[in-house]
Amino acid sequence: MADETRRLFGTDGIRGVANRDPMTAEMALRLGQAVAQRFRRARRGGRIVIGKDTRLSGYMLESALQAGIVSAGADVLLVGPLPTPGIAFITSSMRADAGVVISASHNPYQDNGIKIFAADGFKLPDEVEAEIERSMEAIGGGNDSARAAPDAIGKAERIDDAVGRYVQFLKHAFPKELTLDGVKIVVDCANGAAYHVAPQVFRELGGAVDEINVWPDGRNINFACGALHPETMAEEVRRSGAAIGIALDGDADRVILADETGNIIDGDQILAILGTRMLATGKLPGATVVATVMSNLGLERALGARNGKLIRTAVGDRYVVEAMRDKGFTLGGEQSGHIVFLDHATTGDGVIAALRVLAVMVEEQKPLSELARTMTRYPQVLLNFAVERKRPFEEMPSVQKLIAKVESELGSDGRVVVRYSGTESKARVMIEGTDESGIRAYAAQIADTLKQALAG
């Protein structure tokens, strides 16, 4: 089913400013009813997990979702603040019928979002989200069909050991024969959902952990810290003499690293480090890594030099996962730090990605700076600007003509990607090539032409 059938759901669930349409308690109540209606089984009601990050508005949306779900006859399992991948794990581990995550990921605290996992821990396909939206519309129209009879109303209970369960799950991603003894690690939890999980994992594996931004107050999530601002973590690495820095985002489904000198290591470089090692040991199915159209050409070349391949998808980790599942691949991700290991998890997990890189460092006894040289980055320019509406690019011939001209001039040593954000009202122009000043000029030219076309 085409994306235009979904008005609420974007590339990563429903997202918006908290307590403003659509991210309201009223919407969450109807969503809870629709989710319970969609996933409840013939047995009494079914069970649905609800987890969240540390945003202030999480309390409001959690209560509304809970009310909607139990009013529709399903039970709720509350796990409180837990990384998005942790909620996917708990959903599958507890044999629940669905999982709901309240998080706006890397966005500021004023925003919030809701995304849904099926019983197997995977995000829902577009057509199921569209079906849920139609159910919400019917419920909003006064349809009582979603409401359970008085004796069939659901109940809610808290899963007190969710953190412990998830910590054990994460530790299994690190080889049993290895230890992090003597490895000094800086962990930046972005004052988000991993604040009580990530430091514990690295510490229990033997690491000497320097934890920062682990004091969430509802308003400081992602603020000048975490994966969006890795310079904070990198500076702490330089100051403390750590071997690695690990910066997670607010819901810990993405990670950005720093080597021992404080140089930033992004998702493409992580994929290059891990992909090339898996190629060398014959452990990369199809000799293929899955990434998005935004991933650097350097990743493609690093894999190609070792007889590996890169498959690109639309932006969004859900599309990466769909391609991986379709073809049986196990490693994929995004430049932004969503790294997916389908041999261990169902969605991007920043802690697992960091553990896999640490395993390579320990096994090969090499510093991260040396491992990162696996990939040579091509200069890449990304311009973002706000748009009032997302007019189809095919309706703007001037933009299409200019893109074709730039692509022709770049040849095989460059790429052009022009797209709209799936979570914000923004257009994005990305160009990469060998000459940074040249591609910067190209990007500005395309952005200006796009702005003019949109204004017209």
**In 141-266, which residue ranges form alpha helices assigned H by DSSP?**
162-171, 198-204, 231-240
CA pair distance 195, 200, nearest whole angstrom = 9
Residue 393, pLDDT > 80, answer yes
Query: Taking the domain 3-159, which CATH number applies?
Result: 3.40.120.10
Query: Taking the domain 266-350+358-364, which CATH number applies?
Result: 3.40.120.10
> Residues 92, 105, 295, 336: which is the catalytic one?
105
Model pLDDT, residue 55? 98
CA pair distance 239, 234, nearest whole angstrom = 9
Residues of the chain with CATH 3.40.120.10: 3-159, 182-264, 266-350+358-364
Model pLDDT, residue 43? 53
Read off the pLDDT of each residue in 350-359 and give the average, rounded to a whole number. 98
End-to-end CA distance of the chain: 31
Model pLDDT, residue 231? 97
> Can you spell out the DSSP letters for 379-401?
PEEEEEEE-SS---GGG-HHHHH
Q: At a CB cut-off of 8 Å and minimum separation 6, what does 392 contact?
A: none
Residue pair 393/399 in contact by the 8 Å Cβ criterion: yes
Model pLDDT, residue 3? 45
Residue 2, pLDDT > 60, answer no
What architecture is domain 380-455? 2-Layer Sandwich (3.30)
pLDDT, mean over the chain = 95
Answer whether the bond into residue 83 is a cis peptide, omega within 30°: no
CA pair distance 437, 431, nearest whole angstrom = 11
93 included as an active-site residue: no
Residues of the chain with CATH 3.30.310.50: 380-455
CA pair distance 307, 356, nearest whole angstrom = 22
Residue 278, pLDDT > 80, answer yes
> Which two three-digit tokens encode residue 91?
């959903």
AA identity, residue 197: V
Domain 182-264 maps to which CATH number in 3.50.50.60, 3.40.120.10, 1.20.120.80, 3.30.2350.10?
A: 3.40.120.10
**How many Cα atoms within 13 Å fall on the side-chain side of residue 444?**
6
Residue 4, pLDDT > 80, answer no
Burial of 2 (0-12, 13-18, 19+ CB in 10 A): exposed
Q: Which of 367, 343, 1, 337 is nearest to 172 (CA)?
A: 343
Determine which of 68-82, 97-111, 132-146, 200-214 has the lowest per-residue pLDDT on average: 132-146
Q: Which helix (H) or strand (E) holds 422?
A: none
Model pLDDT, residue 144? 75
Hey, is 62 helix, strand or coil?
helix
Confidence of residue 6 (pLDDT cuts 50, 70, 90): confident
Residue 1, pLDDT > 70, answer no
